[in-house]
Amino acid sequence: MAGAFKAPIVAALAVAPRHVELVIEHPELSMAAPGQFAHILTPGMLRRPVSFSRIDPQRGRAGLLVQVVGQGTAWLAERSPGEWLDVLAPLGRGFQAPDPARPWILVGGGVGIPPLYSAWERWGPQHRAPACAILGAREADGILMAGDFQGAGLLPVLATEDGSAGRRGTVVGPLEEWLARYPEAQVMACGPNGMLAQVSRVAAGATGPVQLAMEQRMGCGIGACLACVVPATPVGPEGPRYRRVCTDGPVFFREELAWSWI
């Protein structure tokens, strides 16, 4: 159940050029799950959705790692500890917990990385099978939270399109290699639609569940305005059905999405 509340900012850290992580605190955040998001009021604009980058249920704290792309995210990035945010959270359907006995591949692109870190933070300690985090971006500055993964016991595989960090190329190469080794793996991914389409294609032969967290432009964030719909299965003679990223997602199983229509 989501709540509407005002939450103080307890920390604000510049983590990379144009990227700031805010930590907010409120008892409602104890209920937040990896893959869910907060919808945050930005003055004079619609609310802006941001995933949880880390969740501390004991203290009711959650991280929001924001990349500045426009006015709303620029406003968020200028906030300081002691200021308050007007928040609707936790929203949406998050990741389903992984099977601790099955290999687990996390694939994140850019600001799609933070929700995957919150999944590893929550479920990594109980995981008994091989695991891997593949983090990709155009350039080194866009690779987020690599140190957090490492600190939490998972050395990430990095891929940048310009070769400035890790392997040159996209996340697809390392994903193919891991799936060739562990075809029974379960996959969780978040990133731009183009990356998710590739992950969906490459993971089509995987026997484990493939969960994809979509980032779509949003209006209300609570299922009322249909601004965020994505084409979904089944696809009938009149086309696909549509599902709302804000309430039916943002996390979907790969077979729920009609990729040829996205």
Q: Which residues bind ligand FES (CB under 6 A)?
A: 218-221, 223-228, 244, 246
- As measured in angstroms, the least distance from the Cβ of 230 to ligand FES is 10
Cis peptide before 8 (omega within 30 of 0): no
Instruction: Tell me how many residues contact ligand FAD (CB under 6 A).
Output: 20
194 binds ligand FAD (CB under 6 A): no
Give the range of 9-17, 63-71, 93-101, 233-241 binding ligand FAD by CB under 6 A.
63-71
Three-class SS state of 248:
coil
Residue closer to ligand FAD (CB basis): 22 or 203 = 22
Give the range of 149-157, 196-204, 210-218, 254-262 binding ligand FAD by CB under 6 A.
210-218
DSSP secondary structure letter of residue 28: G
17 binds ligand FAD (CB under 6 A): no
Give the range of 7-15, 68-76, 153-161, 180-188 binding ligand FAD by CB under 6 A.
68-76
- As measured in angstroms, the least distance from the Cβ of 195 to ligand FAD is 12
From candidates 20, 22, 33, 73, binder to ligand FAD by CB under 6 A: 73
From candidates 65, 85, 175, 251, binder to ligand FAD by CB under 6 A: 65
| 210-213 and 186-190 strand pairing | parallel
By the 8 A CB rule, do 246 and 49 touch? yes
Q: 133 forms bridges with which residues in the sheet?
A: 106
> 189: closest CA among 92, 99, 100, 106?
106
C-alpha 77/C-alpha 72 separation (Å) is: 9
The distance from CA 210 to its chain's CA centroid, rounded to whole angstroms, is: 14
C-alpha 228/C-alpha 39 separation (Å) is: 13
Residue 240 contact among ligand FES, ligand FAD, none, beta carbon within 5 to 8 Å by kind: none
DSSP secondary structure letter of residue 96: P
C-alpha 174/C-alpha 203 separation (Å) is: 12
Q: 51 forms bridges with which residues in the sheet?
A: 37
Residue 67 contact among ligand FES, ligand FAD, none, beta carbon within 5 to 8 Å by kind: ligand FAD
Residue closer to ligand FAD (CB basis): 75 or 178 = 75
Residue closer to ligand FAD (CB basis): 179 or 196 = 196
20 binds ligand FAD (CB under 6 A): no
| 84-91 and 37-40 strand pairing | antiparallel
C-alpha 72/C-alpha 46 separation (Å) is: 9
Under the rule (CB under 6 A), what is the footprint of ligand FAD? 37, 48-51, 65-67, 69-73, 111, 114, 215-218, 250
